[in-house]
């Protein structure tokens, strides 16, 4: 019988395999959420992470969950048990944290929302593996050591697959996606603040199409 943590890890893996990129979205105006998400989905990017960095985040998640067909909406910058519960109630289908803490992992054990926890060191990755996590966020990817560091973990930590996030662009994404232990990358370049502010959904759809065409290992 599959354990609860393993079941949630399978859900996270499915989400990570939907497209080469998971957009990391900071949204200031919840009215932009639905057209933005529709543009991303139309461009071939269904998994979307809306970060809890603005007061509009939860309203945006609720709107996308209710109105955007084909969107796999997630919540980022999850730090506490309260964040997990708020995200679940808003309709999020996965959660992402920048790092880990014992309280957050305990709360995740008791919450049905699948968690993609962050790690920046081999020790953190090993700790998460002991807790049953085989799919992790590598954050902050570029400052922490980039593709060279993450690639060096592939042999000693072959069980773990990563979504590197932090400082990645369209130009550098392929360097990460070429690694055998990377399933996707996270990036904010698909939804820049100026395009959100101007409502240029066609431009966001174009950025999504470019991202969806990035190659990754089978």
| 159: CB partners within 8 A, 6+ apart | 129, 134
Return the residue matching tokens 């954050």.
139
Q: Is 8 a catalytic residue?
A: no
> Strands (DSSP E) along 28-154, which ranges?
47-51, 72-76, 94-96, 115-116, 118-119, 135-138
One of 6, 13, 49, 124 is an active-site residue; which one?
49
What is the sign of the dihedral through the CA atoms of 178, 182, 183 and 185?
negative
In whole angstroms, give the CA distance from residue 19 to residue 113: 20
Annotated active-site residue 213? The verdict is no
Nearest to 133 by CA among 167, 83, 168, 96: 96
Spot the catalytic one: 67, 112, 137, 148.
Answer: 137
For the annotated catalytic residues, the residue numbers are 49, 137
């Amino acid at each position: 019988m599959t354990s609860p943590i393993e079941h949630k890890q399978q859900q996270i893996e499915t989400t990570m395999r939907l497209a080469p990129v998971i957009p990391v979205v900071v949204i200031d105006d919840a009215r932009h959420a639905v057209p933005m998400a529709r543009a991303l989905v139309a461009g071939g990017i269904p998994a979307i992470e809306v970060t809890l960095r603005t007061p509009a985040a939860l309203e945006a998640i609720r709107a996308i969950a209710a109105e955007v067909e084909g969107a796999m909406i997630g919540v980022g910058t999850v730090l506490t048990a309260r964040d997990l519960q708020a995200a679940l109630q808003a309709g999020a289908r996965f959660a992402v944290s920048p790092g880990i803490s014992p309280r957050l992992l305990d709360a995740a054990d008791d919450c049905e929302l699948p968690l993609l926890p962050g790690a920046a060191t081999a020790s953190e990755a090993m700790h998460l593996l002991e807790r049953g996590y085989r799919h992790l966020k590598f954050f902050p990817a570029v400052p922490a050591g980039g593709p060279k560091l993450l690639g060096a973990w592939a042999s000693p930590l072959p069980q773990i697959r990563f979504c590197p996030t932090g400082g990645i662009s369209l130009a550098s994404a392929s360097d990460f996606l070429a690694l055998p232990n990377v399933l996707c990358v996270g990036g904010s370049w698909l939804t820049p603040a100026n395009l959100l502010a101007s409502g240029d959904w066609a431009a966001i759809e174009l950025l999504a199409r470019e991202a969806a065409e990035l190659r990754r290992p089978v």
